């Protein structure tokens, strides 16, 4: 990996932070927010390809009814690790990478507040990922229990389950340290004049996300720790025979799990809120309402968790509460979608690759939001629970929503990060191939789900064959299309044209906040450097 060039030629005290180390030692010891952002983004891509390879195994087995390629136990291990790796290894670290690169520059800070802890946050991740991979080689293999790690099945698993629990602890530590860093940086290191309500929206969404992480990750740590003590130390938290309750696990898990959805979605909203104004040549519409809507979504996300559990035998009053609370989230989400569309309204639109991915996000994330609204209705969800309709729903939010926002952000900021421009024609190819194949993969899963196909099974009745064949073809196509993305990024870094100072025709993200007089972040570079 070559040294990162600052496209503005100021150098950004780039070499101050790694004390003369070069080569691999530079990357291991770096405390520079840009280096660490780069590490996060490459780690995320490696995990994206690893979790993607597991998705290919899943779709290969499901290409035809009957058991052909892998045995059922290995299939279950694939669905478990695909979920864990994509959520904790691919999507979350990608947005932490964006946070590292962008937040200090957007608020005029010299670096992250705790630069050495920042290094630690990152370097925990490869160890956590290794534990997940090593669990496959333990007696009994990786736990085939689903990414939600539901009790009581987890109590019966082999030692791979313990490695997974330890991996979850490490991932949580990394996220919490990263969040403390982001909160402290934003609250303490803003340049004079950069009030909170003047921050670019990406900073706002991450500030709120960081609070969500600090509140939610310890809850997950508690859930897996109780699983660990049930396994090895004679407790019976989740065992009815000892006075416990397996449903307790689901309550604790989803008290983390639903905010986790917004931990992934809010930074994606932040990226989209920067890309759409840039390619509309207009400031973001409704900046303040965006901030309040983001906060409202974050608060509501803590009182809706049992919409994942309508089938456990909850009282009707409980079902009604969680149903109404969940549908309430549609209001602030609707405000956001309205604002993005209003930003484009009468704008001088252009459709380079970042904008294509942003508009793709807008359509397809909204589609995933609508199916979420369908599933929030308790009476409907009881029919659709654990079917492929649910799989289709959350892949529209995650695999399309969050991932497309990630692509939009990479194409948008790559010229700033590397000083070089990517191949626009190939970028558009990447967008169209991804969009077509991902919809072939997941749209048909609504149909197999409505027809009753259950999730997390390696085999199915003949009646579901057609939808599964189509879905698998889409998945293989989407997987191959991501090799094109790797090629585009490598080509840009090695031989891309030199990026212009304002690559996007004067509509550069960081200048286009809601401010009447845009404040370019260059003007904050005279701030004193923290040593």
Residues forming contacts to Cu ion in the complex (CB under 5 A) are 258
Q: Is 317 a catalytic residue?
A: no
Q: State which residue, 258 or 420, has the beta carbon closest to Cu ion.
A: 258
Q: Which residue reads 């990630």 in tokens?
A: 406
Active-site residue identified among 281, 385, 428, 455: 455
Min dist CB 341 to Cu ion, Å, is: 25
Min dist CB 259 to Cu ion, Å, is: 9
Contact indicator for 118, 112 with CB cutoff of 8 Å: yes
Active-site residue identified among 258, 395, 420, 430: 258
Rg for the chain (alpha carbons), in Å?
23
Query: Residue 197: CB partners within 8 Å, gap ≥ 6?
Result: 287, 288, 291
Active-site residue identified among 18, 190, 308, 430: 308
Residue 452 three-state SS: coil
Q: Is 308 a catalytic residue?
A: yes
Residue 255 three-state SS: helix
Active-site residue identified among 121, 205, 227, 273: 273
Dihedral over Cα of 110, 114, 120, 123: its sign: negative
Q: State which residue, 303 or 530, has the beta carbon closest to Cu ion.
A: 303
Beta bridge partners of 420: 498
| Measured distance between the N- and C-terminal CA atoms of the chain, rounded to whole angstroms | 26
* Residues 205, 211: Cα–Cα separation, whole Å: 10
Q: Is 429 a catalytic residue?
A: no
Q: Is 82 a catalytic residue?
A: yes
Q: State which residue, 185 or 326, has the beta carbon closest to Cu ion.
A: 326
Min dist CB 394 to Cu ion, Å, is: 9
* Residues 483, 333: Cα–Cα separation, whole Å: 33
Query: Residue 183: CB partners within 8 Å, gap ≥ 6?
Result: 207, 210, 211, 214
| Torsion from C-alpha of 364, 368, 370, 374, nearest 10 degrees | 150
Active-site residue identified among 333, 418, 441, 481: 333
Contact indicator for 351, 335 with CB cutoff of 8 Å: no
Cis amide prior to 152 (ω within 30 degrees): yes
Q: Is 232 a catalytic residue?
A: no
Q: Is 262 a catalytic residue?
A: yes
Q: State which residue, 160 or 332, has the beta carbon closest to Cu ion.
A: 332
Q: Is 29 a catalytic residue?
A: no
Q: Is 147 a catalytic residue?
A: yes
Q: Which residue's beta carbon is nearest to the bound Cu ion?
A: 258
Active-site residue identified among 61, 111, 381, 508: 111
Give the number of other CB atoms < 10 A from CB of residue 234.
8
Min dist CB 393 to Cu ion, Å, is: 10
Min dist CB 273 to Cu ion, Å, is: 22
Q: Is 307 a catalytic residue?
A: yes
Min dist CB 264 to Cu ion, Å, is: 12
Active-site residue identified among 17, 26, 59, 307: 307
Active-site residue identified among 30, 79, 121, 174: 174
Min dist CB 305 to Cu ion, Å, is: 6
Q: What is the DSSP string of 465-518?
A: HHHHHHHHHHHHHHHHHHHHHHHHHHHHHHHPPBPPTTTTTT--GGG-SS-SS-
The phi and psi torsions of 506 (rounded to 5 degrees) equal 75, 0
Closest CA to 454 of 520, 379, 360, 391: 391
Q: State which residue, 131 or 264, has the beta carbon closest to Cu ion.
A: 264
Q: State which residue, 258 or 393, has the beta carbon closest to Cu ion.
A: 258
Q: State which residue, 177 or 297, has the beta carbon closest to Cu ion.
A: 297
Min dist CB 445 to Cu ion, Å, is: 18
* Residues 41, 406: Cα–Cα separation, whole Å: 10
* Residues 12, 26: Cα–Cα separation, whole Å: 17
Q: State which residue, 166 or 394, has the beta carbon closest to Cu ion.
A: 394
Q: 345 burial class (0-12, 13-18, 19+ CB within 10 angstroms)?
A: exposed
Q: Is 441 a catalytic residue?
A: no
- Catalytic (active-site) positions: 82, 111, 147, 174-175, 258, 260, 262, 273, 307-308, 333, 336, 455
């Amino acid at each position: 990996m070559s040294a990162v060039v600052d496209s503005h030629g100021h150098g950004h005290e780039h070499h101050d932070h790694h004390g003369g180390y070069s080569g691999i030692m530079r990357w291991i010891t770096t405390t520079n927010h840009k280096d660490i952002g780069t590490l996060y983004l490459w780690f995320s891509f490696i995990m994206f390809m690893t979790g993607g390879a597991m998705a290919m195994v899943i779709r290969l087995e499901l290409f035809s009814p009957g058991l052909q390629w892998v045995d059922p136990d290995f299939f279950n291990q694939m669905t478990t690790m695909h979920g864990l790796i994509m959520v904790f290894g691919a999507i979350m670290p990608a947005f932490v990478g964006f946070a590292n690169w962008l937040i200090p520059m957007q608020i005029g800070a010299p670096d992250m507040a705790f630069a050495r802890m920042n290094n630690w946050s990152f370097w925990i991740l490869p160890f956590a990922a290794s534990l997940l991979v090593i669990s496959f080689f333990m007696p009994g293999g990786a736990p085939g229990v689903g990414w939600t790690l539901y009790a009581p099945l987890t109590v019966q698993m082999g030692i791979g389950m313990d490695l997974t629990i330890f991996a979850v602890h490490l991932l949580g530590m990394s996220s919490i340290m990263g969040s403390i860093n982001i909160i402290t940086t934003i609250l303490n290191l803003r340049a004079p004049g950069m009030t909170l309500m003047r921050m670019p929206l990406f900073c706002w969404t991450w500030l709120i996300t960081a609070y969500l992480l600090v509140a939610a990750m310890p809850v997950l740590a508690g859930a897996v720790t109780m699983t660990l003590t049930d396994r090895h130390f004679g407790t019976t938290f989740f065992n009815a025979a000892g006075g416990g309750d397996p449903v307790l696990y689901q309550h604790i898990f989803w008290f983390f799990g639903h905010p986790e959805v917004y931990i992934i979605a809010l930074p994606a909203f932040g990226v989209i809120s920067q890309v759409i104004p840039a390619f509309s040549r207009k400031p973001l519409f409704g900046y303040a309402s965006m901030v309040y809507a983001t906060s409202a979504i974050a608060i509501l996300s803590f009182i809706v968790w049992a919409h994942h559990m309508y089938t456990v035998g909850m009282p009707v009053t409980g079902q009604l509460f969680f149903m109404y609370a969940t549908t309430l989230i549609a209001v602030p989400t609707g405000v956001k979608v309205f604002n993005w569309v209003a930003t484009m309204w009468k704008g001088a639109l252009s459709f380079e690759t970042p904008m294509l991915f942003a508009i793709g996000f807008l359509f397809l994330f909204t589609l995933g939001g609508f199916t979420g609204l369908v599933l929030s209705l308790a009476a409907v969800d009881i029919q659709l629970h654990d079917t492929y309709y649910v799989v289709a729903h959350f892949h529209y939010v995650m695999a399309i929503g969050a991932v497309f926002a990630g692509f939009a952000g990479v194409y948008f900021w790559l010229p700033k990060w590397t000083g070089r421009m990517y191949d626009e024609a190939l970028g558009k190819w990447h967008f169209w191939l991804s969009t077509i194949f991902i919809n072939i993969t997941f749209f048909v899963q609504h149909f197999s789900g409505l027809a009753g196909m259950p999730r997390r099974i390696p085999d199915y009745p003949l009646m579901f064959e057609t939808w599964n064949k189509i879905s698998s073809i889409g998945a293989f196509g989407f997987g191959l299309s991501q090799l094109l993305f790797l090629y585009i990024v490598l080509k840009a870094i090695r031989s891309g044209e030199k990026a212009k100072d304002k690559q996007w025709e004067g509509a550069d993200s960081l200048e286009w906040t809601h401010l009447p007089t845009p404040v370019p972040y260059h003007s904050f570079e005279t701030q004193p450097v923290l040593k």
